[in-house]
Amino acid sequence: MQQWICVICGFIYDEAEGLPDHGIPPGTRFEDLPDDWACPECGSPKSAFEPYVG
């Protein structure tokens, strides 16, 4: 399980936690998010995310 950071706004997507409030269950890998998925904070596309090591 990995974390991903949106380089535009700093939002962190944690694969282990998912985004249950947005219908994304815990354990969902970033690569399995829909292609048109957007950052819930700033609306940037998936391409704006990079692996994050906290």
Q: Which DSSP string corresponds to 39-51? A: -TTT--BGGGEEE
CB of 26 to other proteins, least distance (A): 19
Considering only residues 25-44, where is the footprint of other proteins by CB under 8 A? 40-44
| C-beta of 27 vs 42, nearer to other proteins | 42
Out of 1, 2, 10, 16, name the contact with other proteins by CB under 8 A. 10
Q: What angle do CA 25, 28, 29 make, to 5 degrees?
A: 165
CB of 20 to other proteins, least distance (A): 13
Hey, how many other C-beta atoms are within 10 angstroms of the C-beta on 30?
16
